[in-house]
Structure 1
Amino acid sequence: MTYANSRLAKTERKVFQLFIAILAVICFIPGGASTFGGINGSAALAGGELIFNGESMLRGFVDNQYRFGFGVFFTQGLILMFFLRNIEQHSTLFHFSALAMFIGGLGRATNILEYGVVDPQVVGPTVIELVVIPLLVIWHMRIVNTQNSLRRAV
Structure 2
Amino acid sequence: MAERSNFAGGFSELRALQIAVCIAGLVPVTAGLAGVVFGAKAFGADGELVTLDSHVRYLSGLLLGIGLVFWSLVPRLDTATRVVRILTLIVFIGGLGRLVSLFVSGVPSVGMQFGLVMELVVTPLLCLWQSRVARAES
**Deviation at 1:99?**
1.1
The structure 1 segments of at least 4 consecutive aligned residues displaced by more than 4 Å after TM superposition are: none
**Deviation at 1:109?**
0.3
Out of 84, 97, 101, the position equivalent to 1:94 is: 84
The residue aligned with 2:46 is 52
Q: Secondary structure at the match of 1:6?
A: coil
Question: Where in structure 2 are there 5+ consecutive unaligned residues?
Answer: none
- Residues 98 and 137 in structure 1, CA contact (< 8 A), matched pair in contact too: yes
The alignment status of 1:144 with 2:138, answered yes or no, reads no
The count of aligned residue pairs is: 135
Across the aligned residues of Structure 1 and Structure 2, the Cα RMSD in angstroms comes to: 2.1
Note the 1:1-154 alignment, pairs <5 A.
5-6=3-4, 8=6, 11-40=12-41, 42-43=42-43, 51-52=45-46, 55=48, 59-148=49-138
- Residues 79 and 94 in structure 1, CA contact (< 8 A), matched pair in contact too: no
CA distance in 1, matches of 2:32, 2:133: 28
CA distance in 1, matches of 2:114, 2:23: 15
Percent of aligned pairs with the same amino acid = 24
CA distance in 2, matches of 1:17, 1:80: 10
- Residues 102 and 130 in structure 1, CA contact (< 8 A), matched pair in contact too: yes
Question: Where in structure 1 are there 5+ consecutive unaligned residues?
Answer: 44-49, 149-154
Which of the two has higher C-alpha Rg?
1
**Deviation at 1:89?**
3.0
The residue aligned with 1:47 is none
Q: Secondary structure at the match of 2:79?
A: coil
**Deviation at 1:34?**
0.7
**Deviation at 1:7?**
5.1
